[in-house]
Amino acid sequence: MEKLICNARILTMNAGMDVIADGYIRIKDGKIEAIGPMEECHVVNFPGEIKDVRGMLVMPGFVNTHTHVPMTMLRGYADDLPLHTWLTEHIFPAEARLVTPENVRIATRLAFVEMIKSGTTCFNDMYFFEDVIADEARKAGIRGVMNESVIDFPTSSFKSVDEGLAISEKLIREWQGDPLIHPSVTVHAPYTCSKETLQKAKCLADRYTTLLQIHVAETRKEVEDITARTGMPPAEYLYSIGLLDRNVIAAHCVWLNAREVRLMAECGTSIGHCPKSNLKLASGIADTDTYLKAGITVGIGTDGTASNNTLDMVEEMRFAALLPKAMHYDPEAVNAAQALRMATINGARALGLEDVTGSLEVGKSADLITVNIAASNMIPVYNDYSAVVYAMNSKNVRSSMVNGDWIMRNRIVCHVDKENTLEAIKQLSGQIRKM
């Protein structure tokens, strides 16, 4: 069915950052067929659904460039610990017991409810049993980049690196070309994966022309350990073995030195910035202002709820705007428009989906959200970008659309059974408490 959204204030997030004060978006076959001011809109005899969004802001949905959606089952499980202790002594052992296809399915549904209600329309995931996550994403109608997380020790979904890579390849073969699911390749990190594993994964990603995702320079300990082992800090080491490239997104990147920043910029490697997770684990503050000025594409991610503890991209975006100002004692560092670009079109570019999503332009998928800018926490609005980045909260998101399909209408998630999901997660959390 064709759709027409009219009487909207539109933040296009296109190259010109055009704002349409009173506009329309015409959607056909899941894509934006036309966009412009209302005086150019022909409502009479329109053959499809008409949605009048007067008083609403329409903008691209948020692109979460780094997360682990099934970790909703471990939200709050091991808080207030440094990353190495948190990961090796708590999370990895818990996952060994808890990560099953069924538990992943339940936790994924919960994640989608939270993500959709806070305006996320696209996410980049790395976890286990990604085929299950892909299936649930397709049912929920949300766009996802799927990455089976390959690591050098046995997991719940594979027993060896070669088996993990085979699962990754199977995922790519089954889902490549899907309108919503974008399969890709993941290696966990340079401290958990050998040189051979890292290079095998890169070869696989290159063979299928997919994204490759990896954690990089998240903590000082990682930098110290990798430097002691290889004689180089993490990003430089990855460069030396051919792992910095245009199809690579490096998550976190808190501790890059000046040479590594230059290398990443020259190679076209993108960064998935996770400000809240980095703060909560005391990993540090990534110098995103410097990264952006160097020409690196920086998107925003939430990380998983075990380290965040939310999947709220609105909140994440605000942290991404505020932290550089405090870091540099400069109120102009990462302004509101830049932060919103990081949360939308930059995220899409980092994931290789710039031609598909991230902005509202003719020919792109209709991935968008409506925001109540008349809400008491947002008025008055003197600057659209400032209002969204500094004043908005997730409850201001009223409706969400992906690929021309409404996945939330008036705060009701359309394709996920919220009540059954909440009941299932309650039962699962009860089992976890008894461990």
- Report pLDDT digits (tens) over 350-400: 999 999 999 999 999 999 999 999 999 999 999 999 999 999 999 999 999
Both tokens assigned to 185: 């390749």
DSSP 104-128: HHHHHHHHHHHHHHTTEEEEEEEES
Cα distance between residue 339 and residue 316, in whole Å? 10
Cα distance between residue 59 and residue 396, in whole Å? 13
Q: Which residues of the chain have pLDDT under 50?
A: none
Coil, strand or helix at 35: strand
Class of domain 62-350: alpha beta
Place of tokens 């036309």: 34
Cα distance between residue 105 and residue 102, in whole Å? 5
Both tokens assigned to 414: 């359309």
- At 99, the amino acid letter reads V
Both tokens assigned to 72: 């909703």
pLDDT for 44 equals: 83
Please give the radius of gyration of the chain, using alpha carbons only, rounded to the nearest integer: 21
Q: Which of 260, 32, 397 is CA-nearest to residue 388?
A: 397
Q: Which of 199, 94, 89, 8 is CA-nearest to residue 433?
A: 94
Coil, strand or helix at 260: helix
Cα distance between residue 150 and residue 165, in whole Å? 7
CA 307 to chain centre: 15
pLDDT for 42 equals: 84
Q: How do beta strands 56-60 and 368-372 pair? A: antiparallel
Cα distance between residue 249 and residue 375, in whole Å? 36
pTM: 0.97
CA 101 to chain centre: 22
Residues 6+ apart with CB under 8 A from 22: 7, 8, 9, 37, 38
Cα distance between residue 85 and residue 97, in whole Å? 18
According to DSSP, residue 87 is labeled I
Helix (H) or strand (E) holding 58: strand 56-60
Place of tokens 């359309």: 414
The CATH 3.20.20.140 portion of the chain extends over 62-350
Q: Is the dihedral of CA 47, 142, 187, 228 positive or negative?
A: positive
Q: How do beta strands 270-273 and 3-11 pair? A: unpaired
Cα distance between residue 174 and residue 168, in whole Å? 10
Cα distance between residue 204 and residue 107, in whole Å? 28
- At 432, the amino acid letter reads I
Contact 320, 300 (CB under 8 A): yes
Cα distance between residue 293 and residue 280, in whole Å? 26
Q: Which of 392, 370, 286 is CA-nearest to residue 52?
A: 370
According to DSSP, residue 91 is labeled I
Q: What are the pLDDT digits (tens) for 48-75?
A: 999 999 999 999 999 999 999 999 999 9
Q: Which of 130, 68, 65 is CA-nearest to residue 269?
A: 65
pLDDT for 433 equals: 84
The CATH 2.30.40.10 portion of the chain extends over 3-60+365-413
Q: Is the dihedral of CA 173, 176, 178, 182 positive or negative?
A: positive
CATH of 3-60+365-413 given 3.40.50.150, 3.40.718.10, 2.30.40.10, 3.30.540.10: 2.30.40.10
Q: Is the dihedral of CA 70, 403, 360, 416 positive or negative?
A: negative
Alpha helices in 31-129 (DSSP H): 83-85, 92-98, 101-117
